[in-house]
Structure 1
Amino acid sequence: MDHDEGDQMTELFELRQYTLHPGRRDELVALFDNEFVESQAEAGMRVYGQFRDLDDQDRFVWIRGFPDASRRAGSLAAFYERHPAWLEHREAANATMVDSDDVLLLTAVTGDLDAARASPPALAGGDGAAGLEIVICHPEDPDAFPEFFRRDLLPALAEAGAPPLASFRSSGHRNDYPRLPVREGEQVFVWLSRSPAPAGLLPAGVRPPQRLRLAPTPRSWLR
């Protein structure tokens, strides 16, 4: 999908999955929570949430947003090339990582992460943390799937007790900051919910959906 000028004014999201060295995730979580939340906001980005993967103790997942696609490259340069927080702590952060290139560029289809943040569920955990699920699908017809999702799948998920907080599709925006690679050449549809989707509702697509069961870190904005 090629992007056009209209994409430049659309909010852009990154879904980032990091593979870490064994036993290093808590180290990265503490560093990220303490040093990389406000500092990215100062560079013009919002960290919507950062999570431990409940099924892979060496995976760290986070979501970052940009007010519009045209500001992505400048914001990333401001953070990774000039911000004191990254320049001071980048070696420690990078030392925890095996791979940080599993990144999807997404644009919103339904829902609102700000609204999701404003209406958290009733929580019983010791630190007030609830789990979330992210589903990543590879639809056979990426252009038709958003309408199918709105019309059929969204109400079915709600009826099953797993209403999505927000959904996204692959953005047509090119990676204009190649220093940070992204997954290219594939079209995905992604949704995030606080309850797991029934397996029977997951679309088959061109390959099986990826399901991420996640626990927010102590300072995750999205819970």
Structure 2
Amino acid sequence: MNLPPNATPEPAVLAPPAVELRQYTLKPGKRDTLIDIFDGRLIEGQEEAGMTIIGQFRDLDRQDMFVWMRGFDGMDARRDALATFYGGPVWAAHSNAANATMIDSDDVLLLKPAWPGAGFDLSGAPRDSLADDNKSNRNKALSAIVVIQIHHLRPGAESIFADRFATEMAPLMTAPGARLLAAFVTEHAENSFPRLPVRASENVFISVMRFDSAQTHPRHEAALAGSPAWQVFWQAARPDLTQPTETLRLSPTSRSRLGNSQHLLDQRC
């Protein structure tokens, strides 16, 4: 990023290191209802309890899926924050309405940064305030998308995969209109809040990308596929993969901190 003379870059504001990736299957036609409740009623209450709401999204390929991420300062902090929120007045007031939209809310991956500094940098990414937001804004389509790829690995392969990805692949990910936001591996610590299940047996590596538009994504993927370095990496990694990679193409809600602001990504230029 080109800064004006004498300008000081904004310091990084890293999201907490313990992260949940949550995928909710909703009743048909109820996604916007849940987003209205979540964005309008549940964000501030969770953050006041001690967690960070990183991003929330509509899945572009599954019309009844709501995907979101939140972070905690550690596993003990996760236990305390979740106990405070789910035992508190905000959830008591809105839980029935939120739960009424859901078929399943147990598809949850517990994650940690894949290498030092691989977590989200949230500097320059303020969330729209409730005063600036309204129902039409919360439901509007936004041009930027976030793409999460979930690579399923054999047990013990996460660190090797992550090390190679950091040195060989991460430098190739940034291109015009595209930026690698973060990378994670499974956090294998015991679930510190058993009331909320997690997919504890998973071994995954996850990359999170931001694209200026849905059209930018396939162009970027095609360019990567034609890269010899990319081909060499995946040929070597193939024996460690246990099932096909999952790709989530996500449209951020208007109060999501991820995806809505280009300057979120420019902090890493």
* Displacement of 1:117: 3.1
The aligned residue for residue 125 of structure 2 is 117
* Displacement of 1:161: 6.3
Tell me the distance in 2 between the aligned counterparts of 1:21 and 1:78. 28
* Displacement of 1:153: 1.4
Tell me the distance in 2 between the aligned counterparts of 1:70 and 1:221. 24
Instruction: Say which of 92, 107, 110 aligns to 1:87.
Output: 92
For 1:171-186, list aligned pairs within 5 A: 171-186=187-202
For 1:1-223, list aligned pairs within 5 A: 11-81=17-87, 83-109=88-114, 110-115=118-123, 117=125, 130-140=144-154, 141-158=157-174, 162-195=178-211, 196=217, 198=221, 200=225, 201=230, 203=234, 204=238, 205-223=241-259
* Displacement of 1:69: 2.1
1:107-160 Cα shifts (integer Å, max 9, x gaps): 112253314737xxxxxxx76652111111113422211101111111222358
Letter in 2 for 1:163: R
1:71-105 Cα shifts (integer Å, max 9, x gaps): 11111010011x21110110110010000000000
Tell me the distance in 1 between the aligned counterparts of 2:178 and 2:151. 16
Q: Give unmatched runs, 5+ long, in structure 2.
A: 1-15, 127-139, 212-216, 260-269
Contact 1:117 1:222 in 2 (8 A): yes
Letter in 1 for 2:49: A
Number of aligned residue pairs: give it.
206
Contact 1:116 1:222 in 2 (8 A): no
Question: What secondary structure sits across from 1:218 in the alignment?
Answer: coil
Distance 1:143 1:128, change over 3 A: closer
Contact 1:154 1:163 in 2 (8 A): no
Question: What secondary structure sits across from 2:122 in the alignment?
Answer: helix
1:36-70 Cα shifts (integer Å, max 9, x gaps): 10000110011111100000010000000002222
TM, length-normalised to structure 2: 0.71
Q: Give unmatched runs, 5+ long, in structure 1.
A: 1-9, 119-125
Distance 1:180 1:63, change over 3 A: same
Larger Rg computed on CA atoms: 2
Tell me the distance in 1 between the aligned counterparts of 2:175 and 2:36. 38
TM, length-normalised to structure 1: 0.85
Cα RMSD for the two superposed structures: 2.1
Letter in 2 for 1:185: S
